[in-house]
Amino acid sequence: MDSILLIKTHALGDVLLTTPAIRALRRSFPEAKICYLTSRWASGALEGNPHLDDLFIVEDDALFGGRYYRLAPLLFRLRKRRFGLIIAFSASRFIHLLAWLIGAPVRAGFEPGALLTHGVASRVLQHYYAPVAYTMLLHALSIPDDGFLLDFRTREPLLPPELRRFLEKYRGRTIGLFCGGGKNPRDTVSAKQWGKENFLDLAGRLREQGYGFLLFGSLHDAVLNRGMAERLGESAFDGSGRFTFAEAGHLMKQCRLFVTNDSAPFHLAYAVGVPTVCIFGPSSAALLAPELPFCSAVQSRAECSPCYGNALFHGCGRPVCMETITVDMVYNECSKFLAAA
């Protein structure tokens, strides 16, 4: 196999979950040119990946804003590469159509159809931890997997003086918090958020034990984090929108513990080896949380949970699932990791 193209366009965390499959392909085809097609929003998950030779970026509005004509120049470039194999980590017929238009004698993806030469039933996406499901596409091509640990390369940021002082003050006692998330160019699932008051209650208990809090998030989370920082005072530093995904990974490694909603920072935290507690309401921990000794998933006990999979979120007027997750439940999981550190 001389040239391979992988496709996963969203979201940031989902693309990160494909990295075990990338590593397995590199192991089986050490001389091949392995390329990846993804969206601008999700591309940070692949920054510095040592197993990729090229990264093709499609603008988010071309995929999710209806400006499909913007895909034409990129499709022309990709057709000229004459890929021997295309793997689409998606059950989307639109993505399968893109793979067919790019052209390759072998095309694999979920939900077999006329546009694919090899397929795996999409129901596996609802029954297996996502990296396991993605590697099933490799098995359909007789390619062995290489385990399911995620690959990510962090980058050390240039720290502003106030953050440097904060990390020095709370050296060994810094807890990372991600209180927002659930938003990307394709979909918005605000029901994934546990809620500011719950995070503040949790942080208040931990602050009494001498911990400080590094608040993670993009510019979308700035208002939420600003409110958190104002309430927590000097024990918190708001890093909203100030660091790239790779830089955020480096900062996570400075934390003794990371507490998060189900969103991309969850996968990044355990990928870089940080003890992590993740809160699951509408989404399923069974599909998204790894079985690692330093990773704990707090799943809602509501009868309707989980209700969110790979399709667009149907909406929820009242996220009852999150109301069943108490501060005590999350605090107890945090205490186990902090006591063991």
CATH code, domain with 183: 3.40.50.2000
Q: Would you say residue 151 lies in a domain?
A: no
Distance between CA atoms of residues 280 and 299, nearest Å: 5
Are 200 and 231 within one domain? yes
Give the pLDDT of residue 283: 84
pLDDT tens-digit readout, 217-272: 999 899 999 999 999 999 999 999 999 999 999 999 999 999 999 999 999 999 99
Are 107 and 213 within one domain? no
Are 109 and 59 within one domain? yes
N-to-C CA span, the chain: 46
Q: Would you say residue 56 lies in a domain?
A: yes
Residue 84 structure tokens = 């021997």
User: φ and ψ at 199, to 5 degrees?
Assistant: -65, -40
Q: Would you say residue 95 lies in a domain?
A: yes
Q: Would you say residue 260 lies in a domain?
A: yes
Are 106 and 166 within one domain? no
Are 174 and 85 within one domain? no
Are 136 and 165 within one domain? no
Are 117 and 184 within one domain? no
Half-sphere exposure of 73 (CA within 13 A, CB side): 7
Residue 191 reports pLDDT greater than 80: no
Question: Running DSSP on this structure, what letter comes out for residue 188?
Answer: B
Are 134 and 261 within one domain? no
Number of domains in the chain: 2
Are 299 and 192 within one domain? yes
Q: Would you say residue 247 lies in a domain?
A: yes
Rounded to the nearest 10 degrees, the angle between the axes of helix 130-140 and helix 19-28 is 30
Q: Would you say residue 225 lies in a domain?
A: yes
Query: What is the residue type of 130?
Result: A
Are 165 and 136 within one domain? no
pLDDT grade for 282, boundaries at 50, 70 and 90: confident
Structure pTM?
0.93
Give the pLDDT of residue 267: 97
Domain boundary pick from 90, 111, 140: 140
Are 130 and 264 within one domain? no
> Which domain, by its residues, includes 23?
3-140
Give the pLDDT of residue 185: 53
Q: Would you say residue 193 lies in a domain?
A: yes
User: Which residue, among 88, 16, 87, 74, has the nearest Cα to 46 in the 3D structure?
Assistant: 16
**Which residues 6+ apart lie within 8 Å of 105 measured at CB?**
84, 85, 117
Are 90 and 204 within one domain? no
Looking at every residue in the chain, the average pLDDT score rounds to: 92
Contact 124, 110 (CB under 8 A): yes
**Number of other residues whose CB lies within 10 A of the CB of residue 12:** 24
